[in-house]
Amino acid sequence: MRAVIALEDGSVYPGVGFGTEGMQVGEVVFNTSMTGYQELLTDPSYHKQIVVSTVAHVGNVGINTEDPESERVWVAGFAVRSLSPVVSNWRANQTLDEYLKTHGVIGIAECETRSLVRRLRTAGVMRGVIAHGAAAEDTDALIAAARAWPGMDGLDLAKEVSCFMPYTWEESTNPVWYDHSPDANSHQMHSYRGHVVAFDFGIKHNILRLLTSRGFRVTVVPATTTAAQVRELAPDGVFLSNGPGDPAAVTYAIDTIKDLLGTVPIFGICLGHQLIGLALGGKTHKLLFGHRGGNQPVIDPDNAAVTITVHNHGFAVTPGTLPDGIDVTRINLNDNCIEGLRARSLRAFSVQYHPEAAPGPHDALALFDEFAELVEENNKSKVAQP
C-alpha cells in the first residue's frame, strides 16, 4: 500500500507502507547505526521524530522481548530502504511490521533513503509528515501539515515521556552481554554503594541496569521533581537522563539542577548533559542535522584518547558560553561539538552521548564506574568530617 514522506520544503519521497495506516507529523532525522533498530524505536529521545535508517536492509532479526529500552515505541515514524521479508534470528518472536502495528506506528519501505538523507545533511533536519494508506494520497495537504507543525525549537517533551510517579528499579545487567568488552569483569554485580535518584527525562532501561549493577539502589523520579523532593529521598548521587526536545525549554529541571549542584554528586547523559550546561550558566543551540548513530568518534582533549560512541541528539552546549572553572572533557571529532563537561568543585560531570551501549559500542561504559567512584569518594569525605 502506498506510503510517503513529505517535507516542509515541498519534496516528497514515496514508498510502500508497513506498520499502521494513517499520518503523523514530526521532525525528520536520520540514524547511522548498523544494528539495534528495536532499541532505537523504543528510545524516548526519538519522541516526535520520524527516523530514517541509513542501513539498506532492516528487519531481518525481527523483534524480541529483551531488547526494548522502554515500554513503548516512541518514534513518530520509521523509514527504511528495504524491509526484510523474513526474520531469521532465534530470539525473535515478532516481525518489525507486526511490532509497529501493535504500537500504532507508521513505517515506510522502498523509500529512496539515500537521497532523503543527503537532503537532510545539506539543508538540515526538517519538519515532515509520514503517511500510509489513504492518508498518503494528498501530498499537498501533507506538505501543508508539515509546515504547520511548530517544530522542536522551544518544545518541552520531557514531561511527555517521563514517568508520573517515583519507582524503584531493581533489574541489573547480564554480564554475558559484556563478555567481549575489554573490561568485562567490571560488569559483575557490586556490593551496595549508595542510593541514586535518577531523573526520568526519557530514561532508557540499560542506563538503569548499569546503575543497579554497580551497587546502587535506584529511585527513578519524574522530570518535574523539585530539589526539595530529591533531598527528602536522601540520595548519595543524582543521575540526569537522556530525553527529547529542546533543553532550554525544560526550565523547571534547570532550576532544580542549579539547586542541587554542589550538594550531591551528579552525572548527566545527553539531555541531562545539556541541562547541566544550562544550569552552570551556559547556552545551547540546535545542530544542523544532529548526531544519531553508533559510530561517533569522541576525543578526550587531556590525553587524546578516542572512543567510538552512540549518539542521539539535535541540540548541543554552545562553545564559549560556559563560565570559568568548567572543563570540556570530550569533543566530537567530526564537528568539534562539546561532548562532555566537568565541574570538579561541584562534583558534577556529563557526556552528550549514550555510554550505556544499548545498542552501540562499549567504549564509554567506564563512565558509570567513574560515577560510582565519585559517589564513594563523596560518602567517605562525609564520614571523615567531624
Q: Rounded CA gap, 5 and 143, in Å?
A: 9
Report the share of the chain in percent with pLDDT over 70: 95
Maximum C-alpha span of the chain: 74
The ranges assigned to domains in the chain are: 2-148, 158-384
DSSP 111: -
CA separation for the pair 53, 33 (Å, rounded): 8
Determine how many CB atoms are found less than 10 A away from the CB of residue 185: 9
Q: Is 270 an annotated catalytic residue? A: yes
Residues 158-384, CATH architecture: 3-Layer(aba) Sandwich (3.40)
**Structure letter (DSSP) for residue 200:** E
pLDDT for 233-265, tens place per residue? 999 999 999 999 999 999 999 999 999 999 999
Please give the pLDDT value at position 383.
73
pLDDT at res. 189: 62
Contacts for 232 with CB less than 8 Å, ≥ 6 apart? none
For residue 386, cis peptide bond before it (omega within 30 degrees of 0): no
Distance of CA 272 to the CA centre of its chain: 10
Q: Which of 27, 69, 111, 270 is catalytic?
A: 270
Instruction: Tell me, yes or no, if 39 is annotated catalytic.
Output: no
Mean pLDDT of 334-358: 96
Alpha-carbon Rg for the chain, nearest whole angstrom, is 21
* Residue 184 pLDDT grade (very low, low, confident, very high; cuts 50, 70, 90): very low
Average the pLDDT over 12-30 and give the result: 98
- Torsions phi, psi of 91, nearest 5? -85, -15
d(CA 316, CA 125): 15
Q: Is 337 annotated as catalytic? A: no
Catalytic residue (one of 187, 337, 356, 362):
356
Q: Is residue 143 pLDDT above 50, yes or no?
A: yes
Closest CA to 44 of 77, 79, 69, 19: 69
- Domain 2-148 falls under CATH 3.50.30.20: yes
Element spanning 80, H or E? none
Q: pLDDT (tens digit, 9 = 90+) per residue, 78-125?
A: 999 999 999 999 999 999 999 999 999 999 999 999 999 999 999 999
